[in-house]
Amino acid sequence: MHHDLATGWTVRLVTGEAPDDLASRLDAVPAEVPGVVHTDLLAAGLITDPFVDDAEASLRWIGESDWEYRTSFDWSDTGDTRVDLVAEGLDTVAHVELNGVTVARTVNQHRSYRLPVAELLRPGCNDIVITFRSPYAYAREQEDLLGKRPHSYENPFNAMRKAACNFGWDWGPDLASVGIWKPIGIHSWSGARIAAVRPLVDVIDGVPTVTVHVDVEWADTEPAAGAELAVEVAGQTALVALGPGQTSASTTIDAPGAALWWPRGYGEQTRHELDVRLLSETGDELSHWTRRIGFRSVEIDVAPDEQGSAFRIIVNGEDVYIRGANWIPDDVFFPRITRDTLQKSITDALESNMNMLRVWGGGIYESEDFYDLCDENGILVWQDFLLACAAYAEDDALWSEFEAEAVEAVTRLTAHPSLVVWNGGNENIWGYIDWNWRSQLGAMTWGEGYYIDLFPRIVRQLAPNTPYSEGSPFSFSRYVHPNDDAHGTMHIWDVWNRVDYTHYRDYRPRFVSEFGFQGPPAWSTLEYAVHDEPRDPFGPNMLVHQKADDGNGKLQRGLGEHLPQPDSYEDWHWTMQLNQARAVAYGIEHFRSLFPLNRGSIVWQLNDCWPVVSWAAVDSMRHRKPLWHALRRVYADRLLTIQPREGALVAVLHNDAAEALSTTVTLTRRSLLGEILAQERMPVEVDARSATVITVPASIASVADSSAEFAAVIADSGERAFWYFAEDPALLLQSDAVAASATEVPGGYAVRVEARSLVKDLTVLADKVDAGARAQDGLLTLLPGEVAEIRVQARPGLEPAAFTDPRVLRSANDLCDPRNA
């Protein structure tokens, strides 16, 4: 029987320097469980919104303080042999007392705890008190104890087992919190219980199979009787006898004819109910576990070849070209993340044509809801172990915590067919090689033992059918630089940090697991969070919401010759959003043009956790930035792109669809006003999961006036690509190139646009009209004479013409029209 302890909690300040006007009001604040202290104080009206202006710094005292959570609950003896206090997640350094007796001291946010408490419970009222240490103070204390090791940013997050990004990152605030962040309750039971189930699926000689490992815990130390496991899946049943006190058993079940689970775009996401029951010798059910599983095989090919060494993800024998994004926690305050919020973010991934999310190592092991939604929708999951951008001690105390959390995470997540990669950590091996760590570390350990010993050993033991990578980036050889583009996985961060985005073409990467470019969030998101007067990209409150080192300076320099420097705040906002979208699209088009050498990319990043200028495609208020619209285009099943090759131009059509493509392409050179200056048509055949290269004829690739002409390749099947012989500021773009009108329609508004001349990257910034408005399309390039309709989802009663206002209906034209200079 489970007794949920979700109600009646209060939180109080134990030690810390609260503001004078708050100190007397922090004795018994109502607390929500699951929750964290920041959200409790916010709900009680005791602090301002941590996301607005410079509130982040003013709330530092919360994380520097110790806090006590307390509740009382009634208990009556159930007659069961065992009674456990089950805490699914405590954040982080906690002292747990039941009726005045210490039952646990915890130091790991990424673990759960099951604590026997039968002897401490009393009939009637019982008290539970959980006191949390300041995470900042504990991290500093542990760093002094373990030795100072390199880490990113200010706080020594690498000295404790708490989500690294909770201490601040270059896209996240420094709002380290404490609290009971996952459910907590009392579990009473007798006989035996199923402690864990690990279903290891595979497809062997075409036959779906699963080996089900079951761990059992017994209530009595010396049970007199045995038990039986009944395992059922896909119409097949197996019975396994357990002797008295036997703590584990396994059985293998073949399921011939059972449908396989496939990534999206490759087949159906069929799942089968796996039902495991633990029965007493008399047939009574002692414990029950059920979960939907999917039959699939997965492997990663990293074999050397003539061009380096590969990184190919293979599911059910099929190569999967990866179109993915890195995933960070969906909110700064993790208990606010729900299945509904996760569904919205995963829908953002699905509708931008992604097929993989990489759960990054500076965050958390996500909830069952996250992985279940990925299973359901065919989104592959690359799962980092939780280490990022730092050197980590390998002392016994920290090692044992890493081991415990890794065993728990791998055991919990083996049931999910979407999880296809376990990865040792983020940028730590690269950091050791390239970031001057060795001179700082001397003889101190730095985490290598986790990547080459502990984690691969746990994966081999508990999830041997899931591939493991030592790190990201990684070249799968001790004798090759870990970020070599010819081998394995690579991160590309000189673009954004130092060089223009055209340098993406300097690389021929086998697989890119991180790259990206910054841009501001939606206008309404900034207006909610930033209130500098006057509005200014370099205003003090804006810079609170720009966490990257010299981020706004890099944004300005990153414009290069691509777009003009903006001369107003609103133009800054649109220019930087547009440049972000173009930079990332430029990289992905180059990567895909290299297929089959390149096998995918994982952009940094899909989502945001608060209102911030960042690399995200979707901001924290769930506005899809122009980058999202760019990703939807370049991550489409079929991408047509024009690329320079050896002094000429080629058009590459990458067909990552399950069907072959037979089409005809029209190649033209045109004036910006629409005159066709040269044209050719040719048939094109592209096999499924393949690519073809079309040489652009000299008549199309040669230009008479680079400021007034462009090239286009348009397939009868709908794919389009454009090539410009000059950067936008040098083009004779016209800001009045669009005739636009808007009408109210069911569910929102329809914006009709007609191009008088070439229009580049036409976008409706709908949230400028109303914060709840969302445009369904963006970054449209229209040829002269073309007409398009952009649907806007918004509440009724708005003025339709507001969506065609020049502040709202934007394009590259209105930034670059030479008449506006």
Question: Is a pLDDT exceeding 80 seen at residue 399?
Answer: yes
CA angle (365, 369, 372) in 5-degree steps = 100
Q: What is the mean pLDDT of residues 466-474?
A: 98
Are 751 and 813 in a shared domain? yes
Write out the two tokens for 714.
């348009």
| C-alpha dihedral sign at 809, 811, 813, 819 | positive
Pick from 626, 642, 558, 627: which is nearest to 592 by CA? 642
Residues 798 and 777 in one domain: yes
Tokens representing residue 735 in the block: 């800001």
Contacts of 214 (CB under 8 A, 6+ apart): 194, 196, 197, 198, 229, 231, 240, 248, 249, 250, 276, 278, 289
pLDDT at 155 exceeding the cut of 90: yes
Residues 253 and 127 in one domain: no
Same domain for 765 and 801, yes or no, is yes
- 615 shares its domain with 592: yes
Tell me the pairing of strands 322-327 and 600-603.
parallel
In this prediction, residue 818 carries a pLDDT of 75
d(CA 88, CA 108): 11
Residue 819 has pLDDT above 80, yes or no: no
Tell me the mean pLDDT in the region 487-509: 98
* 3-state SS string for 405-443: HHHHHHHHHCCCCCEEEEECCECHHHHHHHCCHHHHHCC
Q: Does 396 map to a domain?
A: yes
**368 DSSP assignment:** H
Please indicate, yes or no, whether the overall pTM of this predicted structure exceeds 0.95. Answer: yes
Q: Which of 587, 615, 634 delimits the end of a domain?
A: 634
Residue 629 near residue 581, CB atoms below 8 Å:
yes
pLDDT > 90? residue 820: no
Confidence of residue 741 (pLDDT cuts 50, 70, 90): very high
DSSP code at position 775: E
Residue 131, domain CATH: 2.60.120.260
Q: Which two tokens stand for residue 147?
A: 């030795």
Mind listing the pLDDT tens digit for each residue in 566-593? 999 999 999 999 999 999 999 999 999 9
Burial zone of 303 (CB within 10 Å; 0-12 exposed, 13-18 middle, 19+ buried):
exposed
DSSP one-letter code for 446: -
Contact between 607 and 164 under an 8 Å Cβ cutoff? The reply is no
Q: Which residue has the tokens 């994380």?
A: 63
Q: Assign residue 569 the CATH number of its domain.
A: 3.20.20.80
CA atoms within 13 Å, Cβ hemisphere of 599: 20
Helix (H, G, I), strand (E, B) or coil at 664: strand
**Token pair recorded at residue 798:** 């708005």
> Is 201 among the domain residues?
yes
Give the model's pLDDT for residue 23. Answer: 87
Average pLDDT value over all residues in the chain:
97
pLDDT at 266: 97
Tokens of 808: 């709202």
Alpha-carbon gap, residue 380 to 600, rounded angstroms: 13
User: Domain range holding 688?
Assistant: 638-726
CATH of the domain at 211: 2.60.40.10
* Same domain? 166 vs 194: no
Counting residues of the chain whose pLDDT is more than 70, the rounded percentage is 100
* 266 plus 409 within the same structural domain: no
**Tally of residues, the chain:** 821
> Is 368 a member of any domain?
yes
Rounded mean pLDDT, 318-344: 98
Angle at 269 between CA 268 and CA 270, to 5 degrees: 95
Q: Look at residue 558 and tell me whether its pLDDT is greater than 90.
A: yes
How many CB atoms within 10 Å of residue 517? 25
Count how many domains the chain has: 5
Residues 6+ apart with CB under 8 A from 560: 500, 501, 502, 727
Q: Mean pLDDT, to the nearest integer, of 411-420? A: 98
State yes or no: pLDDT of 7 exceeds 80. Answer: yes
Say if residue 254 is in the same domain as residue 108. Answer: no
DSSP string of 100-166, one letter each residue: TEEEEEEEBTT--EEEE-TTT--SEEEEEEEEE--HHHHHHHHHHHH----BSSSS-GGGSBS-GGG
How far is the C-alpha of 493 from the C-alpha of 434, rounded, in Å?
Answer: 13
> What's the pLDDT score for residue 817?
80
The answer as to whether 732 is a domain residue is no
Phi-psi map region of 727: left, alpha, beta (phi>0 left; psi -120 to 50 alpha):
beta
pLDDT at 1: 86
Q: Do 151 and 253 belong together in one domain?
A: no
DSSP 618: B
Q: Render 460-483 in DSSP notation, one character per residue.
A: HHH-TTS-EES-BSB-SSTTS-TT
Domain end call among 187, 217, 251 = 187
Q: Are 414 and 274 in contact (CB under 8 A)?
A: no
CA distance 578 to 570: 12
Quick check: 821 pLDDT over 70?
A: no
Question: What is the CA 792 to chain-centroid distance, rounded?
Answer: 27
Q: What is the rounded CA–CA span in Å between residue 384 and residue 248?
A: 28
Segment 694-730, tens digit of pLDDT = 999 999 999 999 999 999 999 999 999 999 999 999 9
Is residue 731 in a domain?
no
Instruction: Report yes or no on 643 lying in a domain.
Output: yes
C-beta atoms surrounding 772 within 10 Å: 14
Q: Determine contact, residues 711/723, Cβ cutoff 8 Å.
A: yes
Sign of CA dihedral 417, 423, 425, 431: negative
791 and 744 within one domain: yes
**Residue entry with tokens 């899909």:** 606
Closest by Cα among 73, 94, 75, 93 to 83: 75
Average of per-residue pLDDT across 216-238: 95
pLDDT tens digits for range 190-209: 999 999 999 999 999 999 99
Q: How far apart are CA 811 and CA 804, in angstroms?
A: 12
* DSSP class of 728: G
Query: 733 lies in a domain?
Result: no
**What pLDDT does residue 114 have?**
98
Domain-terminating residue out of 691, 726, 761: 726
Token output for 134: 């300041």
Judge if 48 and 105 occupy the same domain.
Answer: yes
Number of Cβ within 10 Å of residue 64's Cβ equals 16
The closest alpha carbon to 231, from 271, 189, 269, 279, belongs to: 279
pLDDT mean over 86-106: 98
Q: Is 281 helix (H, G, I), strand (E, B) or coil?
A: coil
Q: Which of 633, 813, 820 is nearest to 740 (CA)?
A: 813
Give me the pLDDT at residue 699, please: 96
Count CA atoms closer than 13 A to 215's CA, side-chain side. Answer: 9
Q: Are residues 649 and 629 in the same domain?
A: no
DSSP type of residue 27: S
CA distance 232 to 13: 51
Flag whether 792 is in a domain. yes
- Say how far apart CA 346 and CA 416 lie, in whole Å: 16
What secondary structure does DSSP assign to 528-557, as a single string?
A: HH---SS--TT-HHHHHT--STTHHHHHHH
Cα separation of 551 and 543, whole Å? 9
- d(CA 463, CA 408) in angstroms, rounded, equals 12
